[in-house]
Structure 1
Amino acid sequence: MTKIIRIILLFIGSILFLDGLILILKAKINFGTVIPFLLGLILLIHAFYWTKIQSFLHNRIKLKRLWQTIWVAFLIWCASFFYFVWALQQKIDDHALVPPVKAMIVLGAGIEKNGQPSPALAKRLDRAAPIALAQPKALVIVSGGVGFNEKQSEAEVMANYLHAKYHLPLQQIALEDQSTSTELNLINSKHILAEHDIQLNQPIAIITNDFHIIRSAAIARKQGYQNILMLSSETPLSIRYNAILREYFAFVSGWILNEY
């Protein structure tokens, strides 16, 4: 039994550790990369030193109980995380025909050093473009401000991408270029909607990556959006699972901070 446990810990720990390490070395430092790295490291230590750890805890009853309690808490956390992943899958739309909307809001997701949308953001824009072209009367709000060490706003980069790649008319696009969070994306977009005489009880599509669907929908409802249509785009495989993990913590912190 001990051998099986060590093999399992070694296998899972190696995957988590290497996944986190590779992304951290690529300067992608966030909860979605640091947590897998640390968890992987802890699991690897247990895999290599399982017998010594058990021996050390053998006559230290209180310390052993604390160790067991931490493991139970960790397993409960794992269950909550997998439930979150399952709930996300239930909310992802099937890319069926999109009904007419008055406006669509594309939420920002970062830009690259070369001034192009990040892979995740490009997926959002690629999801939005065919809908916007099919519904030329729908206002397209691209939402995102200027990030750290950036010269252009996300909104400007997003508009340029839609116009250059899909020839979406610039007059159909409105730039919300002041926000730095999902909450601000949606708060600031309300002002643009009002300027175009679009009410919050009218059909409005919100486009974001699949991992972001639950939290962005909750924030939108908190901000007074009454008739939202959540449209999801795929997340690039290289960051998908790390993004889900990071979003899990963002969802929990958002709940604690009363964002929704």
Structure 2
Amino acid sequence: MLKKIKAWMERHEIALRTARKITFILLGSLLTADTIFASRFLSGNIGAYLPAIIGLPLIILGALDAPLRRFFRLKWGRALKYFIMLCYALFLISFGISLMLISSVPNSEKEADAVIVLGAGVSNGEVSLTLKYRLDAAYDYALKYPEALVVVSGGRGADEIQSEAAVMKKYLLARGLEEERIVMEEHSANTYQNLKFSKEILDGTLEKDYNVIIATNKFHAYRARRIARDLGMDADALPAQSVWYLAPNNYLREYLSIYNYLFVGIGID
């Protein structure tokens, strides 16, 4: 069987080489185009640039196929070729594992003492679409469980007029949520701080052994729940929908954040 496959590949070598070149160039171009598009919405966010970081080498491999094949026959060329192959293989495997971790988080509907809404960027005093989805999920949950507090968590960025928490509170009030149910956490700058500072507030507000549910987007739910539990909270996730056209960027960014948190103890946010 292997001999037949090898013989077939030899007969169709030129066609296979051409197909590989076209595939690399097209895939690399799509990934690079995604970066150009996503940069309009995710300025300064590493998730916007990761597709191009992955895609540009593919464009080079496809466009310079002939000279690179000659170079890869040399000693150092072969070493570089195997290194590139190893890097992409490790990326695909580790990215696949991160997707499995993300998809492992169930959508919890159990009653909690508080729902924590994690900040996700505001602009000119308005919530981003990603943050809107989180707030809408928290609002629906608060209607279902009228005894639950709603903690809006997010500090003020350098380019923001108000803290994320203040803007989030304004959004929930406009939707009709009672002000006395909303608790603001205005000092955090990342997911870890969101949850740590929210826990400190709830420790002084609720009775011992309280439980929480975290309103965030599906791609973010695994890490958010993991951090909360590592901080000692009885926590589950309330995954909200995500912005579909930013999915590649959000999942790639979260891929890096998951491994950074698991192995280094920090995230990319």
Aligned 8 A contact 2:117 2:150 in 1: yes
Match among 131, 148, 151 for residue 121 of structure 1: 131
Which residue does 1:32 correspond to in 2? 47
Give the Cα separation in 2 of the matches to 1:141 and 1:17: 38
Q: 2:218 matched to 1:210?
A: yes
Q: 2:71 matched to 1:83?
A: no
* 1:83-142, Cα deviation, whole Å (9 max, x unpaired): 21133123242x7xx222111111111112x21111111000011101112222111100
Displacement of 1:73 = 2.4
Give the Cα separation in 1 of the matches to 2:184 and 2:137: 18
Aligned 8 A contact 1:219 1:259 in 2: no
- Identity, in percent, stands at 32
Aligned 8 A contact 1:222 1:259 in 2: no
Give the Cα separation in 1 of the matches to 2:145 and 2:263: 38
SS in 2 for 1:178: coil
CA RMSD of aligned residues (A): 1.7
Displacement of 1:233 = 0.6
Aligned 8 A contact 2:71 2:77 in 1: no
Q: 2:233 matched to 1:219?
A: no
Give the Cα separation in 1 of the matches to 2:219 and 2:196: 21
Map of 1:142-181 to 2, 5 A cutoff? Answer: 142-164=152-174, 166-181=175-190
Which residue does 1:14 correspond to in 2? 29
* 1:53-108, Cα deviation, whole Å (9 max, x unpaired): 112332x2122222222212221211210221133123242x7xx22211111111
Change (3 A) 1:83 1:18: same
Match for 2:115: what amino acid? Answer: M
Structure 2: gaps of 5 or more residues: 1-15
Which residue does 1:252 correspond to in 2? 259
Displacement of 1:197 = 2.4
Which residue does 1:189 correspond to in 2? 198
What is the number of residues matched between the two proteins? 252
Give the Cα separation in 2 of the matches to 1:141 and 1:179: 12
Give the Cα separation in 2 of the matches to 1:191 and 1:61: 58
What TM-score does the superposition give when structure 2 sets the normalisation length? 0.88
Look at both structures and tell me which one has the larger radius of gyration over its CA atoms. Answer: 2
What TM-score does the superposition give when structure 1 sets the normalisation length? 0.91
Aligned 8 A contact 1:92 1:213 in 2: no
